[in-house]
Amino acid sequence: MSFRYDIRLGGSGGQGLIMMGIILAEAIGVYDGKEVAQTQSYGPEARGGSSKAEVVVSDEEIDYPKAMKVDLLLTMNQKALDEYYQDLKPDGLLIVDSTFVKTVPVANAVQIPFTRIARDRFKKEMVANIVALGAISELSSIVSKKAIEAAVLSRVPKGTEKLNRDALKAGMAAAKRMRKSGPPPEADTWENEDI
Amino acid sequence: MKKRNVNEVLLQGNEAVAEGALRAGCRFFAGYPITPATEIAEIMSVKLPRLDGTFIQMEDEIASLGAVIGASLTGTKSMTATSGPGFSLMQENLGFACIAEVPCVLVNVMRGGPSTGLPTYPAQGDVMQARWGTHGDHPMIALCASTVRECFDLTIKAFNLSERFRNPVILLLDEVVAHMREKVTLPEEGLVEIFDRVKPKVPPEWYIPYEDTPAGVPPMASFGEGYRYHVTGLTHDVRGFPTSRPDEIGPFIARLFRKISQRFPEIQMGEVDQVDGADITVIAYGSVARSAKRAVRDARERGIKAGFVKLTTIWPFMKSVVEPVLKTSKVVLVPEMNMGQISREVKRVNQGYTRVVTLNKVDGTIITPEEILDRIIEVA
């Protein structure tokens, strides 16, 4: 059976989701050497409105270029999470920007405040998407850290390389801390329930 | 991270169109920005001046195609790119390019319509407009891409066909394909076949600009090279001057059709997969062809004998490919992001051979493989 891995990035216009999708596709496709197709969907507004980017990864020619059942869902706001959560596979990876996402549907969702990290550490909310890319490369094996770094540096404007590299590392570090502490244990019995 | 192949690039459909155009030798672009085709103009505005080419942002799409026709008459390969609203404005000059036989390439990235419609969402509603949008009897060539690599290849093909037949060629994309990025390896410089228009070999004083030839395509002189002739939108005689003589009008219009109809095999391209003895065959084009391919694969896994046809050439309609499929398939399904345009052509060719069913979606989203599979299961 052929391998297919569907990634969806959702949020609102202006959060850099399409740029994230492009960088992720370039990292996985050009630098890691897999087949990729990246698509997007957004409204006519320049900012605000829903924005979505998708990356399909495979080891063979990709037919349908949009995500079907999602292996990795990253959402930068609550609306996107509520809308797309149903498409996530049962064993899929869910990453949310906890700056804006307050209610998560599953215990094992990875909650990292990408926008707050960008705002506090770098004084630029703009790099929240790069922080999030760092987290993806730490939490998922779909893209290598070297590839994501190379792709980020090839796509960002000249003169912003250091800022973006630091943002990427901050995302990796935040995800690593999350991994160390581990997700909250899943309830396997109902014994503690008050009756 | 593996060692990087330097020829591999992540390219957007619109970027691939621009790359293909430059590779084909396009050195003039006139247009007016419009989502979802703007990237083509953006790239051409940066790259054309570096190649001694010209980019002009015109006041509207009527003027854009006018400028393209004028540039092409000087011997420069020329193009424009637009979307539905601009495509409507270009229809007048599209007819002019047909009757004056001026080669040019027009890219139309289809978005939801009518009118301003849905600037950022895909549709396939301009298929019939591509064929019949300009008035009067005329042949038309329209190609349709479904992958980023095809955006590159078909742009080159569009230029080659327009130069060969002295006819405008329309490249239809939809928003999904135009904005999609895929990893592609572009062919090296010398490996792409490029065709340039045939120029007159006779001296200027012997030149008869619209004289018939066996191919039906008269040699085309470039303005500025000493050849003088009259270019008009009026039906003209072999010297390019208006005529009202039936014995000149009839053969002229017949030649416009003949030059293309006698060479269909050079124009018509598509993909045919496992249609022999199929219980159901899906005929699709553009981004929907990708959904259809997936759905057909899933149907086969469920034991349904499903065939697949992708139309890369939309106009002239590929009767030679579709008719045999209609004769052998128990059902033919045509999914489209419109209320039924190519399905009309399939039904026209059908002549009672089999059952033709449709799947139409006009809500601004692509038809998914699941939706096609459900329809296959329903009708097969």
Residue A37 to residue B293, Cβ atoms within 8 A: no
Of B2, B9, B119, the CB nearest to A33: B2
Task: Please give the residue of chain B at the shortest CA–CA distance from A24.
Answer: B10
Residue A111 has pLDDT above 80, yes or no: yes
Q: Tens digit of pLDDT for each residue in A127-139?
A: 999 999 999 999 9
- Per-residue pLDDT at A76 exceeds 60: yes
Long-range contact set of residues B323-327: C-beta below 8 Å, sequence gap at least 24: B323/B349, B323/B353, B324/B275, B325/B272, B325/B275, B325/B278, B325/B281, B325/B283, B326/B350, B326/B353, B326/B354, B326/B356, B327/B353, B327/B354
pLDDT band at A115 (very low <50, low <70, confident <90, very high): very high
Q: Do A36 and B183 touch (CB under 8 A)?
A: yes
- pLDDT tens for B260-284 read 999 999 999 999 999 988 999 999 9
B223: distance to nearest CA of chain A, Å?
Answer: 43
Specify whether the CB–CB gap between B173 and B17 falls below 8 A. Answer: yes
How far, in Å, are B70, B97, B219, B236 from residue B231 at the CA level? 10, 10, 14, 9
Alpha carbon of residue B127 to chain centroid? 10
Identify the architecture of domain A4-177 in CATH: 3-Layer(aba) Sandwich (3.40)
Residue A193 pLDDT more than 60? no
3-state secondary structure of A70: strand
B300 touches chain A (CB under 8 A): no
ipTM of the complex: 0.91
Considering the entire predicted model, what is its pTM? Answer: 0.95
Low-confidence ranges of chain B (pLDDT < 70): none
Q: Which residues pair with A11 in a beta bridge?
A: A51
Question: Which of the four pLDDT bands, split at 50, 70 and 90, describes residue A1?
Answer: low
Which chain A residues are within 8 Å of B182, Cβ to Cβ?
29, 36-38, 62, 65
| Cβ–Cβ below 8 Å for A64 and B294 | yes
B6 CB near a chain A CB, below 8 Å? no
| B-chain residue closest to A29, CA distance | B183
Query: For residue B328, what is the enclosing H or E element?
Result: helix B319-328
What integer pLDDT is reported at residue A8 of this predicted model?
98
Is it the case that residue A182 has pLDDT exceeding 90?
A: no
Cβ–Cβ of B35/A44 closer than 8 Å?
yes
What local confidence, expressed as pLDDT, does residue A186 receive?
Answer: 57
Confidence of residue A189 (pLDDT cuts 50, 70, 90): low
Q: Please name the residue of chain B whose CA is at the shortest distance from the CA of residue A22.
A: B181
Partner-chain residue, chosen from A38, A63, A146, that has the shortest CB–CB distance to B180? A38
pLDDT band at A48 (very low <50, low <70, confident <90, very high): confident
Q: What is the token pair recorded at A11?
A: 């949020």
Q: How far is residue B348's CA from residue B194's CA, in Å, rounded to a whole number?
A: 35
Quote the pLDDT of residue B4: 73
For residues A54 and B231, give the distance between their C-alpha atoms in angstroms, rounded to a whole number. 49
Using CB atoms, pick whichever of A39, A44, A146 lies closest to residue B176.
A39
Domains of chain B: 8-191 (3.40.50.970), 270-379 (3.40.50.920)
Beta strands in chain A (DSSP E): 4-12, 35-42, 50-58, 70-75, 88-97, 110-112
Of the candidates A12, A21, A63, the one whose C-alpha atom is nearest the C-alpha of residue A39 is: A21
- Chain B CB contacts of A146 under 8 Å are 1
Beta-bridge partner residues of A111: A96
pLDDT the model gives residue B147: 98
Calpha distance B36→B15 (Å, rounded): 12
Check residue B214 and give its pLDDT. Answer: 94
The arithmetic mean of pLDDT across residues A98-111, rounded, is 92
Instruction: Select the residue from A32, A63, A86, A142 to test the B interface by mutation, using most B Cβ atoms within 10 A.
Output: A63
Q: In A, what residues contact B, Cβ < 8 A? A: 22, 25-26, 29-33, 35-44, 62-66, 68, 144, 146-147, 150
Min CA distance, B182 vs chain A (Å)? Answer: 5
Q: Which residue of A has its CA nearest to B371?
A: A68
B287 touches chain A (CB under 8 A): yes
Task: Report how far residue B21's alpha carbon sits from residue B351's, in angstroms, rounded to the nearest whole number.
Answer: 39
Instruction: Check B179 against A39: CB less than 8 A apart.
Output: yes
Closest residue of chain A to B368, computed from CA coordinates: A64
